[in-house]
Amino acid sequence: MDVWFWQLVHLLLRDGYRIARMPEHGDEIWLESGHWRRPTLVRLVRADFDWSRSLRLDIEYTWQFIRQMNGRKIGKGGRVVNVYVMAYPPVDDWEFLIAEPLPLSGAADGAFHTLLIHSGNTGEMLPRLEEMTGATLRPAPLVGEADPFAAAERLKHEVLTEWRRQREEERRIFEYGKPLFTRLLIVVQVAMFLILEWSGGSTDPSVLIHYGAKFNPLIEMGEWWRFLTPMFLHIGFLHLLTNTFALYYLGWTVERLYGSLRFLLIYTTAGFFGTLASFLFTPSISAGASGAIFGLFGALLYFGTVYRHLFFRTMGMNVISLIVVNLLFGLLVPGIDNAGHIGGLIGGFLAAGAVHLPKRVAWRRQMKALVAAALLAAAGLWVGFR
């Protein structure tokens, strides 16, 4: 059954599954599907339990582990398939343990299925596993390998090699670029803050307007450059401090993911869309990098549409939670330009879609994002200046 176990892993990998978790002892592997509409998480375990009590304890532990997992959402209609590969089943009654699936976060949000495959029921269990995973699982006889142990070790070595390759690929995704423009933008906004303070104070409306804050009457008179300059100005030290910290952490991540030039384009586009939304919906003077910073959130959301499982396994829920909390905070606290935040979020998402991710090409998606951004910007400018 060792050969069967590693063959099943190989067949799932061939059908588009990715290794999500692989403990060092190697007799347990977690794989995830690439299908976002119906996500499936498969746990394969090579184990021999003499008694059903050991099987029951392992099922319960795994079920509780799944229910408490952070960073991964099984989602509505998704499922977890917990598969035991055994030479022989437990000697006492065990069928009742796997007769019905267990719920995950409510009956509508997915189910936890358990299958037990042993030497006497493969013909019955494999079709059920195929139905649950959507994969074609037909282990073929190993030609030319008389030693099953050697065959199992070879298959295991191939899986471990794939696991190392996958981890290296993911590491490179997060370390593509160096945060050059992040540092430069922080220096620029701190320098501009000092200039504002030296010129009369960063909270003085006349000083802010003089140095390029968003001021609707002057934009309507033709000073279009005010769609970009507000992202470098801040009103008060606390405003500068919060945006600088946000730019440092978000910019560092986004610039490493997208590379410096893509990052700069995303940041400036998001800043433009943030100011445009503020111009359309708020008449007051405004300044700050918040719209551009929300655009970095948008870029991370777009990353999640390309690498869905990697996104939710690493930062996904934290990013979504921060977006929701900040938007709610902007709605509840007066004086915060929430229109600029939402505009920046949309602009950053569309800009990220237009430039896409390094070493990946998706011309259709990129053209759709570019056209959507251009149409949205044109519509906003037409409404604002008519």
* DSSP assignment string, 75-118: -TT-EEEEEEEESS--SS--GGGGSSPEESSSGGG-EEEEEEEE
Strand-pair partners of 59: none
Residue 46 belongs to what H/E stretch? strand 40-46
140 compared with 165, residue with greater pLDDT:
165
Contacts of 328 (CB under 8 A, 6+ apart): none
Mean pLDDT of 158-173: 83
Distance of CA 152 to the CA centre of its chain: 35
Predicted local confidence at residue 109, as pLDDT = 59
DSSP label at 286? Answer: B
pTM, two decimal places: 0.78
290 compared with 1, residue with greater pLDDT:
290
DSSP string, 172-217: HHHTSS--HHHHHHHHHHHHHHHHHHHTT-TT-HHHHHHTT-B-HH
Q: Do residues 75 and 107 touch, judged by C-beta distance below 8 A? A: no
**Residue 111 pLDDT class (50, 70, 90 cuts):** confident
pLDDT at 194 over 70: yes
Query: Any idea how long the chain is?
Result: 386
Cα(203)–Cα(234) distance, rounded to whole angstroms? 8
Amino acid 204 reads D
Cα(276)–Cα(298) distance, rounded to whole angstroms? 16
pLDDT one-digit tens code per residue, 52-68 = 999 999 999 988 888 77
Q: Do residues 93 and 56 touch, judged by C-beta distance below 8 A? A: no
DSSP label at 292? Answer: H
Q: Tokens standing for 23?
A: 């403990």
Kindly list the catalytic residues.
290, 341
Q: Do residues 348 and 291 touch, judged by C-beta distance below 8 A? A: no
pLDDT one-digit tens code per residue, 117-136 = 988 888 888 888 888 888 88
pLDDT one-digit tens code per residue, 347-386 = 999 999 999 998 878 889 999 999 999 999 999 999 988 7
Q: Tokens 């009742």 belong to which residue?
A: 96
pLDDT one-digit tens code per residue, 234-280 = 999 999 999 999 999 999 999 999 999 999 999 999 999 999 999 99
Cα(216)–Cα(213) distance, rounded to whole angstroms? 10
> Would you call 50 helix, strand, or coil by DSSP?
coil
**Residue 337 pLDDT class (50, 70, 90 cuts):** confident
Range scoring the smallest mean pLDDT among 82-91, 165-174, 362-371:
165-174
Q: Tokens 């471990």 belong to which residue?
A: 160
Give the CA distances from residue 333 to residues 99, 320, 327, 336, in Å, rounded to whole numbers and listed in that order. Answer: 53, 20, 10, 7
